[in-house]
Amino acid sequence: MKKITKDLIITLLFIVLGVVLFSYIGLTIYKDFFKKTNENNVIKNLDLYGYILKESDIDIYKEEFDNLSKILNQKDLDYDEYAKSISKLFIIDFYTLSNKISNTDIGGLEFIYPEYVDNFKLKAKDTMYKYIEVNYNGERDQVLPEVSEVIIDSLNKSTYKIKEEEFESFELNISWNYKEDLGYQKKCKLTIIKNGNKLYIVESE
């Protein structure tokens, strides 16, 4: 009886170890595959600012990305135009869900202030991105929104404090339209700060 119990315990341990090992290997392969897929998807990179353009980005995003590239390559950088451009790119990427593969594939993160990215992702997964179906093969029955136009309604300059540090800021009221109106948000106010030579979104309301 003791031998049977001992053999059973050893067998169960091997089964558990096997499951853990195969799960780890599977997860590693999964991450490597999608990491390589995302890397291969990049078609343009603004290295100094960390902005990337992907093949999966929609046409109006690609057009505005080219506009941003021109703005950033000018000798005297116009920060008003820079703020307007990243606002448009953020709205297009965040509110276009039709090209996203899952609810973790959140758009616009590269424009968010780094310290706020994690909280922003959590909020996005619980709201705008909550019901996105997984789609790795390019086929989806689910109808999702695609931004077709972004309008900067106003831009005002101010200051914004993070902890004890004060930054030059831009407040933009923005509206947008979709290819098909599915009842999603169409207006917001963005607050953007200037930190060094780079702009970051710190608030979206």
Angle between the N-to-C axes of helices 59-72 and 79-95, in degrees from 0 to 180, rounded to the nearest 10: 160
Above pLDDT 70, what percent of the chain? Answer: 80
Distance of alpha carbon 123 from alpha carbon 128, whole angstroms: 8
- For the chain, domain boundaries: 1-40, 42-204
Does residue 191 have a pLDDT over 60?
yes
In Å, what is the CA distance from 13 to each residue of 1, 16, 20? 18, 5, 11
Look up residue 21 and give its two tokens.
Answer: 């090992």
- Extended beta strands in 51-164, E state: 51-54, 147-162
Confidence of residue 140 (pLDDT cuts 50, 70, 90): confident
* pLDDT tens string 68-127: 999 999 999 999 999 999 999 999 999 999 999 999 999 999 999 999 999 999 999 999
Higher-confidence position of 170 and 39: 170
> 24-33, 145-154, 193-202: which range is least confident on average?
24-33
**Worst-scoring range by mean pLDDT, 46-50, 86-90, 163-167?**
46-50
